[in-house]
Amino acid sequence: MEGEGECSDNPFTSVITLTKMRVPHVPQRYVLPPSQRPNLTLDLTTTLPIIDLSTLHHASQRSLTLDTIQGACKELGFFQVVNHGIPLPVIHDALAAATEFFNLSLEEKMTLLSDNVHNPVRYGTSLNHASDKVHYWRDFIKHYSHPISDWIHLWPSNPPSYKDKMGNYAKAVQVLHKQLMEAILEALGLNFGNLQKEIEEGNQLMAINCYPACPEPDLTLGMPPHSDYGTLTVLLQSGPGLQLQDNKKKWLSVPFVEGALLVQLGDQIEVMSNGQYKSVVHQVTLSAENKRLSIASLHSLPINKKIGPAPELVDEQHPVSYNEFSFRDFLDYISSNDIADKRFIDSIKKSV
């Protein structure tokens, strides 16, 4: 059924199916214009921040760690964390659950297929297969996850262990997110308590991605350059493939560190900081030999909560640089706009 998507009335064909068909070339709809194609030979010697979170619990080391976090947030909008409190078995179980889901038959996965970005659980390919002008070499399942008791009954029932394994990971990342937000806001000079309720009651969206091996990885991407909409994205990856853009618009390849989690600042943090911190622009490259899995836990304030620059960070030298927005505003934006053409945050920046 799935392989017939190319020539039937069904427009959906997953990348996993193309891989199983052993297509020798990527179909034309995946081919990017030359100027947008990735550089797969970037220097991997670039040193990117790796922060030991256990040092936050030691009074003698906390200040230095906060300074390191602040530097990473200003320079890159990105850092990796180790000693983050999530046991390796929980991480491995989450990746195993993702593998088992993507190994299901098409018929099983198609019950969750949707191109409606407002749906609480949806399976799909590319960014949105129904509207993308160029497709991306990715299959995904996304679902809301916090509070988990409100959503887990909607998650896939197959594989049988999915809810348990992915649920344990989602709950652990939610705890980590709160710890990270406290540190990031403290480093920015803001009072965590002023936003604690909104952070604890905010949204968590799990985006579980499969990037199969690609026959022509130099012609396409798994995800185009973009920034995430929320406060933080905590990313677990099974191998290398993520690239981020520094403040000089130079692409850097993120090395794979076993057991580490990647922390990416989102648009809500950039707006809250009035531009002091930057949401990181990132993309996903592909491999001709290896499949890559990633589990992105995207966190944001409650869906209707408007966020603007913190008043403490606004003065004559630093006027308000962004209009307020909410997670719902972002969802409405991507319903009718292609994020590969224009970043959402560019639509809310005030003109100078």
Res 2 pLDDT > 60 = no
Res 46 pLDDT > 80 = no
The pLDDT of residue 247:
84
The pLDDT of residue 1:
29
Distances (CA, A) of 98 to 34, 87, 103, 171: 32, 17, 9, 16
Percent of the chain past pLDDT 90, that is, above it, reads 68
Q: Which residue has the higher pLDDT, 11 or 40?
A: 40
Q: Angle at which helices 88-102 and 162-188 pack, to 10 degrees? A: 120
pLDDT digits (tens, 9 = 90+) for 147-188: 999 999 999 999 999 999 999 999 999 999 999 999 999 999
Task: Measure the CA angle with vertex 147, ends 338 and 115; round to 5°.
Answer: 25
- Average pLDDT score over residue span 132-149: 92
Res 10 pLDDT > 60 = no
The pLDDT of residue 328:
86
Instruction: State both tokens at 65.
Output: 């760690």
Please name the residues in contact with 102: beta carbons below 8 A apart, sequence gap of 6 or more: 16, 109, 139, 210, 293
pLDDT digits (tens, 9 = 90+) for 244-284: 998 888 899 998 999 999 999 999 999 999 999 999 999 99
pLDDT digits (tens, 9 = 90+) for 56-83: 999 889 999 999 999 999 999 999 999 9
pLDDT digits (tens, 9 = 90+) for 120-134: 999 998 877 767 788
pLDDT digits (tens, 9 = 90+) for 196-253: 888 898 999 999 999 999 999 999 999 999 999 899 999 999 999 999 998 888 899 9
Res 88 pLDDT > 80 = yes
Q: Which pLDDT band holds residue 340 (cuts at 50, 70, 90)?
A: low
Compute φ and ψ for 210, nearest 5 degrees: -125, 125
Residue type, 103: N
Q: Which residue has the higher pLDDT, 195 or 164?
A: 164
Residue tagged 């962004």 (tokens): 322
CA-to-CA distance for 132 and 226, rounded, in angstroms?
15
Q: Which pLDDT band holds residue 194 (cuts at 50, 70, 90)?
A: confident
The pLDDT of residue 13:
85
Res 48 pLDDT > 90 = no
pLDDT digits (tens, 9 = 90+) for 283-296: 999 999 999 999 99
- Average pLDDT score over residue span 287-314: 93
Residue closest to 257 by CA, chosen among 8, 36, 50: 50
Mean pLDDT of the chain: 89
The pLDDT of residue 11:
67
Query: How far from chain centre, in Å, is Cα 313?
Result: 27
